[in-house]
Each structure stands twice: as C-alpha cells, then as structure tokens.
Amino acid sequence: MANNISRNIASDEEGLLALDASMGIMGSNPAAERILGMPLPPGESFRPERVWREPDLSRIGYAIQETLTASRTKDLISLPRLLTSIQGAQMLCTLQPLFDSPDTVLGVILSLQRVARRSNRSPTAFLEAQQKDEPFPNQHDPLLEALPEGVFTINVHWRIESFNKRAEEITGYHREEVIGRHCWEIFRSDLCQLGCPLRTALESGLTSTDQDVRILKKGGKRQTILVNAGVLRTATGNIRGAVETFRPLAGEAYFSDSQGKETGFAEIIGRSPAMARIFEMLPDIAASDANVLITGESGTGKDLIARTLHDLSSRRAKPFVAVNCSALAETLLESELFGHEKAAFTGATGTKIGRFELARGGTLFLDEIGELKAELQIKLLRVLENREFERVGGTRTLPMESRIISATNKDLRQAIRVGQFREDFYYRLRTVPVSIPPLRERLEDLPLLVEFFLKKFNQRFGKRIMSVHPEVMQMFMRYHWPGNVRELERTLEHAYVFVKGPVILTTHLPAAEEFQIKSPTIADAAADTAAKPNRESLQWALLHTKGNRNEAAKLLGMSRTTLWRHMKQLGLG
C-alpha cells in the first residue's frame, strides 16, 4: 500500500502521509519522512505532538477530525488549508479524505509542501490569492494522483485545469491533451447538452452523486461511468470551478478486458459474444415485418427482446399487445385473440374486440406459444397465411394488420417429433429465429447485470448499495442459475430487504448454501476469469484491510502468493 501511494505521488517536494481513523500510519512517501524528520513505518501510530506545538497542534487535530466526519463531497472539494512551521520551514498542510466506499471515510491523506520550493509566493500570499479567486497551479495534483477514481477539475469557463492518472486510464486521453480544453470536447457524454452533473453543480452549488453517464473514450469506444460532481470554492466561499470524480460501472471494471459489443438497448444488458450477435441482429429484424420466434429458457428476457423489436420498428407509435398463451383457458384464448360477437356463446352479452384488433398497426406478442393446443394452432396458421380472421360467432372478415412476434421456452422441434406441435405452424412462426442463451452460458455478463439491478433497486428501495462483496460475486459466478436473469433479480431484491450497509454480503442472500452448486465447465472458466482482479479490485481490498495482504487475499478469495503475483503484474507490488 505504501509503495503504491509513493509511486503515484513520487516527488521530492510533496510529502504524503496516509492515516487511518485512529491515527495509525497506512503508508507514506520518502518526502514525508524527510520533511517530518522521522521514520513513518506502516502500522505504527502517528503522534502529531512530536511534530507540532500549540496552537498548530490543535488546529491540525481539529482539521483531521473534521475531514473524517464531514460529508464526502465537501471534503473532496473543500480541503482545509493550514499554515504551520516545521523545523523552521514554512509549510502548506492540506488534508484529503481516504474513502473505503463512497459513504465511508477510511482515513485521511496528509500532504506537506514547502511553499518556497513550489512558488515564489509566501504562504500568506497563497491564502490571499485563494481569497481573490486566483488559481494556484497544480495545488490538487499530488493528492488526486493517489485516488483510485478518475478526477478532473474545471474552472468557471468550463476549461479543464487538472486530470489525474486514473482519469487518463479510463478515458484514454493523456493530461497534456486535455488541460485547457472544454470538458465536453473530451468526454462527449450523452448528458453534455442536457443534465450535465457539472452544470448542475456550478449553477445550483449542489452536489451530484452516483449519476451514470455514457462517454466516448479516445478512439470512439463507449464507456459507462458513475459520476460524482461538486463545486470548488475559495476560502471566502466563492465558486471558482467544479470537480468531478468518476469510475467505470462495477460490472465493466470487473471484466475490463472482456471483448464484446456493449448493449445500446434499455434493460437488455450484456457484452458477451452471444448477446453481441443478438444486438447486431435486432435493428435489421425490427426494420422488417417478418414473423419472429424468440426461444430461450424461462427468465432469459424474451419479453424484453420482443418489446425492443417493437420500439425499434416503424410500428413503435402503435400498440404493443402481449398475450400469455399459457395463462388463459383454452376456451377463452380464441375469444381473447379474435374477439367475439354478441351471443356467440353462453355469457357473451356483447361484442368484444380481440387482441388482433387491439394490436392493429402495431405488434402482437404471443408468449408461451408452445402451450397452444392443436386446434388453435390450425386457426392461427390460417390467420398467418391469409392475413385475415373472423371474430368468434361472426361472419365478417377482418384484416390482420399487426406484426406477430412469438416466444417459447419449449423445444418446439422435440414437440413436433412427438406430435404436440404442427410443423407447418412452426415454420410460419419462425421466419426469423432469435435464440437467447441462458445466463450460465454468458456469465461474463453477470457483473453488468448486477450493476444494473443495484441501480434499479437503489431507486425503488431508497437505499445506496454500492456493490456486492467479492465473495458474493464469486458465488454468483459459480452458480448455475436455473431461473436465469429473473432469478438473479429476485436474489438481489431479497438481499435489499436485509442489507443495512453499502455492500451486499453472503448473509443477505436467500439460502446461501444453494449458491455453492457449481455450473459445468463454462461457469468454472468464467469464475477463473473473475478471479483475476483488476487494479481497482486490488486497491479496494488493500485499502479495506489497511494494507494487510493476508486479509486482502482472503477478501478476494485467493492465496497470498496469488495476490502478490497479481500486484506485481499490475505494478502494485
């Protein structure tokens, strides 16, 4: 941990000391030891009274406690600035909160600068410049470099003033390319013109938290990030700019090296090769009026595909009418589909319009089409061939003006072989087939789905759950998910009933022992992939365990040797 922090802010002029909430030393760089004139071994307690005398000691202690307890956004953008004298040198001391999660401050980063080396101005002149709203070049950079999130700041003219290393990694831009440019030229977000978090901060003075935004990285690839934004103020309270922190969504960070086209369709989540092929097909299918047969196990989202095809088509302004063929009695299904005339049968007290008429000009979605009895299959086949129908008990022929999309979780080919489904009806339905893979065959999509449902349930339950514990994710990756995406959704909804903190733990899951069931080799391979953590996972685990590698390895579900190897590969060792 200490080596990682030192590498990020290596500087002879900037001393950095990371302290936990109980003033224990988490790490430091050599400059901090030289400036303070003492060794700073990790794990030992830091004693401010060995460095400062009153009244500076009281001011430093108060500022540290304020940083630990104040709100995260205020701490991030409004750093206490204290002047003190250490060994006869005039120093600028700044404090930065160190986060365990967006809602929890783990400790503080104490930064020490010899003002004379960084500027020809005196400390007093520096503070006067702050009160006059004058910028102080690079005053935030050393601290920002130590943060695991992307951070950039803008002035009141919307021009970027600072851009940390993590921001470079996420966006693909080097800071030399972005400093001085307008932020919208770099991020090209879908919210730049409407709903910009930075604009909200600058115009209202309020913070914007956990807003998901899609940006264009250098090279044109889209990236979804989670954004927090707030204003930068001078010592006198005047707004001098804004700051934004951002990180990739948890699922995208979890599989940062995975290949696959990202979804551009609401609520259809995935970047696996199987889902990428479906995404490529959908616009072309939607542009036609051909019948579509969607197949897949229960819970895979066949209804979402059907709805998306309708929304992408030229019929989107017309009705989308869904019929569950297994939910209605056989005697009622014909009336539901075609409608009936008055006195057509006992209880028909008036004329009723059927689903085919209700969907006129739009889309009729026949879900669970495999449940239809043979007699109704014949009637529907005639409708599809002749493009016309009659109401039950009627004699007037009505045109069939809707597009037919059907879906089933049955193997219709097997049903044809045993005489339960008509072959001619099957081929009339499946002009264009779409097969949705089960979740166990696209486990690389699972972290993205988890991120999607966390956001959904945060809004529904009014909670701020940030992630699932790595152990929970590993259990998910090894589970076979017989109920597919629907089962994952219900599992997370169950967890929301019991979770109190920002992270979902195994104790919050329903019957957690069920998740010990392993999937076949595909799941094992995906779990092996998931076990290779990225930089963010390692940094989070090390921060959470205060740099204890044994505990961090346990948290990530790996041996200490494996953790050390991954740290070396990612330059964190």
The CATH number of whichever domain residue 13 belongs to comes to 3.30.450.20
Token pair in block for residue 305: 């595909």
pLDDT at 100: 60
Domain match, 8 and 102 both: yes
Domain match, 390 and 450 both: no
Domain match, 292 and 362 both: yes
Domain match, 126 and 153 both: no
pLDDT at 114: 62
Whole-structure pTM value: 0.49
Domain end (from 389, 408, 436):
436
Domain match, 228 and 306 both: no
3-state SS, residue 24: strand
Residue that the structure tokens 């449902």 belong to:
453
Are 451 and 488 in contact by the 8 Å Cβ rule? The answer is no
120 by Cβ neighbours in 10 Å (0-12 / 13-18 / 19+) ranks as exposed
Q: What's the CA gap between 285 and 435, in Å, rounded? A: 13
Domain match, 122 and 158 both: no
The neighbouring-strand residues paired with 16 are: 111
The verdict on residue 143 lying in a domain is no
CATH code where residue 477 lies: 1.10.8.60
Q: What's the CA gap between 400 and 407, in Å, rounded? A: 19
The verdict on residue 108 lying in a domain is yes
Q: What's the CA gap between 121 and 115, in Å, rounded? A: 8
The verdict on residue 396 lying in a domain is yes
Which residues, including other chains, have CB under 8 Å from residue 482's CB and lie 6 or more apart? Answer: none
Q: Which amino acid makes up residue 502?
A: P
Are 445 and 272 in contact by the 8 Å Cβ rule? The answer is yes
Domain end (from 132, 163, 183):
132
The neighbouring-strand residues paired with 151 are: 245
List the beta strands (DSSP E) in 234-296.
239-248, 292-295
pLDDT at 285: 94
The verdict on residue 255 lying in a domain is no
Domain match, 508 and 551 both: yes
Domain match, 492 and 344 both: no
The verdict on residue 370 lying in a domain is yes
Tally of domains within the chain: 4
The verdict on residue 473 lying in a domain is yes
Domain match, 430 and 385 both: yes
pLDDT at 341: 84
CATH code where residue 389 lies: 3.40.50.300
Instruction: Tell me if the bond preceding 55 is cis, omega within 30° of 0.
Output: yes
Query: What are the residue ranges in the chain where pLDDT is below 70?
Result: 1-14, 54-56, 59, 70-92, 94, 96, 99-104, 113-144, 146, 190-195, 208-210, 212, 235-236, 249-267, 330-331, 512-537, 539-541, 543-546, 554-557, 571-573
312-316 contacts at long range (C-beta below 8 A, 24 or more positions apart): 312/282, 312/283, 312/286, 312/287, 313/286, 313/287, 313/363, 313/403, 314/287, 315/361, 315/362, 315/363, 315/403
pLDDT at 552: 74
Domain range for 381: 273-436
Domain match, 507 and 557 both: yes
pLDDT at 404: 94
pLDDT at 91: 64
Domain end (from 404, 421, 436):
436
The verdict on residue 265 lying in a domain is no
* pLDDT (tens digit per residue) in 36-54: 888 888 888 888 888 777 6
pLDDT at 340: 82
pLDDT at 535: 64
Domain match, 474 and 384 both: no
The verdict on residue 490 lying in a domain is yes
pLDDT at 477: 85
Domain match, 168 and 105 both: no
